[in-house]
């Protein structure tokens, strides 16, 4: 009886290709195994990290690591920002008077200058947190003007002067726009200048105020005089700063972040965010400060939405629902908008990721990959069934991350599927979980080792595909078995359309103290099934599994593994022989 041997089983999932053209290394069903070189390996478990359920659905995770401090895992809920502390999730306190609007949408979270920033559709503008509280980003300009009067004897020559002041965060260099200008001070000369009426800020990030004054007899431009290193003094006495000692000119580009932003990213030391119509960008190095003119229109009249903003090397990729564009340049003077794809739009901001020069995203009908020049669809065939189930209304909230250690692009499409793409071998697989995952997020340990965290609908955080854990937790239920099925391409015994009798199945793998279930399927019918031991030392393990009693022309091997050990399948083989009789009468 001929033996058909498959030493390469790492082709992954292929749902859409017809049996006669599907590769031997591919599988028509592949769940919870992932291709690893030419092998298949059972994935790691889904380890629950908080013992008690958090009160809200969690839709964002950030590994927050201020300088020289261990990683603090922050999570974003519907109305709160919280901290994963040990095995508990504890809500951070909001700044007095600040609250986050309720939303189920995924958070964009990132760290910049020791501050964690959070942004989400249908929520507040940019939210900031130092890990102990959360509140609004940006600093509103002072509403009241200062007063300048002549002071004691000094060096400032006679001239007219005007003054303004700003609110300032010395830790992050975030500064407000200036206050209204003072009334004119007709300085008598040879005196100092005394300031009063300097307002205080209600924003808790403000720890200083900065005073600016015009050059003698000039208007409209103010230069740094002094800094008050607190947020309570309302006077400054003895300003004796001459022109040559004045500092930097005040900026009028320090407005608060625009409202209505949905998502964004930091690129070239600026924060770029979108309200789905335009791109807004911050001042250089001050990501909470926005000039009112810092807007880039991206074909706003084409009837489509911006769905993604992603920093991709020298480019800022802007994904719209109809096309994908990108921005180049270093500052507003030379920003240039170009088009990467005029066909393959982007559906979800959080699906756009990159690794090793490749960019990935989820479109409305397919996953796409680009090397920066050309764009190719990568899943229309292999994930045909999954893609057919996509709901355009929820597609927008797919969340992905990249795990370079295994060459994975992982995408959670809530309510549809969690798919994993090996970008080195162009192979897909599907991960299934009992928990209703809402997203998977990049995370790293204190030693900068990357791992992935996932969140669910119920209020739990998990370590995703945890190679040290062999079970799937599901909310309050821990330790569930991981069910990992594989279904081969149809086996034809070298004689398509003819009945084939299968007699033995061989699995190439190490010995494991586990069992596995082998079945021959024809359509939805199980022709024969056995649960067998893997605990044999021989690399090729032989199992009798015959279809002699019900030979068919189209049979598929199903392998179902539910054990704890993360097994690897290195190959398989089958003894099968065509009996020569066609499966249907010729018509």
| Residue 195 beta carbon to another protein: minimum distance, rounded to whole angstroms | 18
Binds another protein (CB under 8 A): choice among 51, 229, 245, 302: 245
- By beta-carbon proximity to another protein, the closer residue of 38 and 218 is 218
Give least dist CB 331 to another protein, A.
Answer: 6
Least distance (Å) between residue 332 CB and another protein: 5
Contact flag: residue 159 with another protein (CB under 8 A)? yes
Residue 547's nearest CA partner among 564, 527, 563 is 527
**Does 215 interact with another protein (rule: CB under 8 A)?**
yes
Q: How far apart are CA 347 and CA 367, in angstroms?
A: 10
Which region among 24-32, 366-374, 378-386, 557-565 touches another protein (by CB under 8 A)?
366-374
**SS3 state at 384:** helix
Count other Cβ atoms within 10 Å, centred on residue 66: 15
Residue 51 vs 248, nearer CB to another protein: 248
Q: What is the DSSP letter of 206?
A: -
- Contact present, 12 and 422 (Cβ < 8 Å): yes
For 290, other C-beta atoms within 10 Å of its C-beta total 26
> What stretch of H or E contains 387?
helix 384-388
For another protein, the closer of residues 299 and 335 by Cβ is 335
Q: Which residues of 139-174 are buried (b: 16+ CB within 10 A; e: fewer)?
A: bebbeebbebebbeebebeebebbbbbbbbbeebeb
- Which of 16, 197, 199, 332 touches another protein (CB under 8 A)? 332
Closer residue to another protein in complex, CB, 47/315:
315
Q: Which of residues 420-479 bind another protein (CB under 8 A)?
A: none
By CB under 8 A, is residue 415 in contact with another protein?
A: no
Contacts of 86 (CB under 8 A, 6+ apart): none
How many amino acids of this chain bind another protein (CB under 8 A)?
A: 35
Do 50 and 84 touch, CB atoms closer than 8 A?
A: yes
Instruction: Indicate whether 292 belongs to the interface with another protein (CB under 8 A).
Output: no
Q: Please select the residue that binds another protein; options are 16, 197, 216, 260, rule is CB under 8 A.
A: 216
Write out the H or E segment, with its range, that includes residue 395.
Answer: helix 392-395
Residue of the chain from 6, 117, 271, 326 that contacts another protein (CB under 8 A) = 326
Q: Could you tell me the two tokens for 424? A: 């080195």
Nearest to 56 by CA among 459, 436, 474, 462: 459
Among 93, 189, 238, 247, the residue binding another protein under the rule CB under 8 A is 247
Nearer to another protein, 99 or 219 (CB): 219
Structure tokens at 9: 């089983």
By CB under 8 A, residue 338 contacts another protein:
yes
Of 240 and 467, nearer to another protein (C-beta) is: 240
Closer to another protein by CB, 217 or 235: give it: 217
329 near another protein, judged by CB under 8 A: yes
Stretch that binds another protein, among 116-124, 211-219, 405-413, 471-479 (CB under 8 A): 211-219
Closer residue to another protein in complex, CB, 336/537: 336
Window of 35-43, 55-63, 72-80, 237-245 that interacts with another protein by CB under 8 A: 237-245
Q: Give residue for tokens 């690794």.
A: 355
CA dihedral 132, 135, 140, 143 (to 10 degrees): -90
Stretch that binds another protein, among 19-27, 213-221, 475-483, 534-542 (CB under 8 A): 213-221
CB of 217 to another protein, least distance (A): 4
The angle formed by the CA atoms of residues 259, 262 and 263, to the nearest 5 degrees, is: 120
Using rule CB under 8 A, residue 217 touches another protein: yes
How far is Cα 162 from Cα 215, in angstroms, rounded to an integer?
9
Q: How far apart are CA 341 and CA 347, in angstroms?
A: 14
Contact (CB, 8 A) for 58 and 81:
no
Q: Which range, of 183-191, 241-249, 401-409, 550-558, touches another protein by CB under 8 A?
A: 241-249
Angle at 49 between CA 46 and CA 52, to 5 degrees: 120
Tokens of residue 114, six digits: 């020791």
- As measured in angstroms, the least distance from the Cβ of 208 to another protein is 19
Q: Which span sits near another protein by CB under 8 A: 229-237, 240-248, 488-496, 555-563?
A: 240-248
Question: Of residues 51, 85, 221, 391, which one binds another protein by CB under 8 A?
Answer: 221
Among 292, 331, 426, 538, binds another protein (CB under 8 A): 331
Q: Is 310 in the site for another protein (CB under 8 A)?
A: no
| Least distance to another protein, CB of residue 339, Å | 9
Options 244, 393, 549, 584; binder of another protein; rule CB under 8 A: 244
Task: Please give the order of strands across the beta sheet that includes 45-48.
Answer: 437-444, 450-456, 461-466, 45-48, 472-474, 477-480
Over the Cα atoms of the chain, what is R_g? 31
Closest by CA to 520, choosing from 543, 500, 496, 546, is: 546
From the list 4-12, 53-61, 72-80, 324-332, the region that binds another protein by CB under 8 A is: 324-332
Q: Does position 71 bind another protein by CB under 8 A? A: no
Supply the minimum distance, in Å, between the C-beta of residue 345 and another protein.
17
Site for another protein in 367-406 (CB under 8 A): 372-374
Report the residue number, 48 or 213, with the smaller CB distance to another protein.
213
E strands of 113-178, at which residues? Answer: 115-120, 127-129, 134-136, 147-156, 159-161, 163-169, 174-175
Residue 223 interacts with another protein (CB under 8 A): yes or no: yes
248 interacts with another protein by CB under 8 A: yes
Q: Is 330 in the site for another protein (CB under 8 A)?
A: yes
Burial of 34-50, coded b for 16+ CB within 10 Å and e otherwise, reads bbbeebbbbbbbbbbbb
CA–CA separation, 562 vs 521, rounded Å?
19
Using the rule CB under 8 A, which residue among 303, 336, 537, 586 binds another protein?
336
**Closest approach of Cβ 248 to another protein, in Å?**
4
How far is it, in rounded angstroms, from Cα 165 to Cα 184? 15
Q: What is the contact surface with another protein in residues (CB under 8 A)?
A: 159, 215-221, 223-224, 243-249, 251, 314-315, 326, 328-338, 372-374
């Amino acid at each position: 009886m001929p033996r058909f041997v498959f030493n390469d089983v790492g082709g992954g999932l292929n749902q859409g290709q017809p049996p006669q053209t599907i590769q031997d290394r591919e599988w028509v069903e592949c769940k919870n195994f992932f291709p690893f070189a030419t092998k298949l390996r059972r994935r790691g478990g889904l380890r629950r990290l908080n013992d008690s359920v958090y009160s809200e659905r969690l839709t964002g995770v950030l590994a927050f690591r201020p300088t020289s401090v261990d990683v603090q895992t922050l999570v974003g809920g519907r109305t709160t920002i919280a901290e994963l502390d040990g095995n508990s999730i504890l809500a951070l306190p909001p700044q007095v008077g600040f609250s986050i609007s309720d939303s189920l949408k995924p958070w964009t979270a990132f760290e910049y200058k020791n501050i964690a920033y959070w942004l989400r559709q249908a929520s507040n503008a940019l939210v900031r947190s130092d890990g102990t509280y959360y509140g609004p980003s940006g600093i509103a300009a002072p509403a009241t003007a200062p007063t300048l009067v002549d002071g004691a004897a000094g060096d400032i020559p006679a001239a007219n002067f005007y003054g303004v002041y700003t609110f300032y965060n010395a830790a992050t260099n975030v500064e407000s726009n200036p206050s209204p200008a003072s009334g004119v001070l007709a300085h008598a000369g040879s005196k100092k200048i005394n300031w009063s009426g300097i307002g205080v800020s209600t924003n808790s990030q403000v720890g200083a105020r900065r005073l600016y004054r015009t050059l003698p007899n000039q208007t409209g431009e103010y230069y740094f005089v002094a800094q008050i290193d607190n947020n309570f003094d309302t006077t400054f006495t003895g300003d004796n700063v001459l022109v040559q000692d004045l500092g930097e000119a005040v900026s009028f580009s320090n407005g608060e972040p625009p409202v209505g932003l949905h998502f964004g990213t930091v690129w070239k030391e600026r924060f770029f965010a979108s309200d789905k119509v335009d791109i807004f960008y911050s001042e250089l190095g001050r990501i909470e400060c926005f000039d009112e003119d810092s807007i880039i229109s991206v074909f706003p009249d084409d009837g489509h939405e911006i769905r993604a903003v992603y920093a991709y090397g020298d480019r800022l990729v802007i994904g719209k629902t109809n096309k994908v564009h990108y921005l180049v340049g270093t500052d507003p003077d030379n920003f240039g908008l170009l088009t990467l794809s005029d066909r393959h739009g982007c559906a979800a901001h959080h699906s756009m990721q990159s690794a090793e020069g490749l960019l990935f995203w989820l479109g409305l009908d397919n996953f796409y990959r680009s090397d920066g020049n050309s764009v190719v669809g990568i899943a229309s065939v292999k994930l045909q069934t999954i893609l057919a189930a996509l709901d355009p209304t929820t597609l927008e909230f797919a969340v992905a991350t990249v795990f370079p250690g295994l060459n994975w692009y992982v995408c959670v499409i809530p309510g549809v599927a969690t798919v994993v793409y090996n970008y080195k071998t162009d192979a897909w697989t599907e991960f299934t979980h009992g928990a209703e995952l809402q997203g998977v997020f990049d995370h790293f340990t204190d030693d900068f080792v990357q791992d992935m965290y996932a969140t669910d609908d119920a209020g739990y955080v998990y370590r995703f595909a945890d190679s040290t854990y062999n079970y799937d937790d599901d909310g309050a239920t821990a330790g569930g078995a991981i069910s990992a099925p594989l279904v081969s391409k149809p086996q034809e015994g070298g004689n398509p359309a003819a009945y084939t009798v299968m007699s033995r199945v061989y699995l190439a793998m190490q010995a494991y103290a586990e069992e596995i279930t082998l079945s021959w399927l024809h359509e939805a019918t199980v022709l024969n099934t056995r649960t067998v031991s893997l605990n044999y030392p021989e690399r090729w393990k032989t199992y009798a599994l015959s279809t002699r009693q019900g030979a068919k022309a189209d049979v598929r091997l199903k392998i179902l593994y539910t054990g704890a050990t993360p097994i690897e399948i290195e190959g398989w083989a089958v003894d099968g022989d065509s009996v020569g009789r066609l499966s249907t009468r010729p018509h």
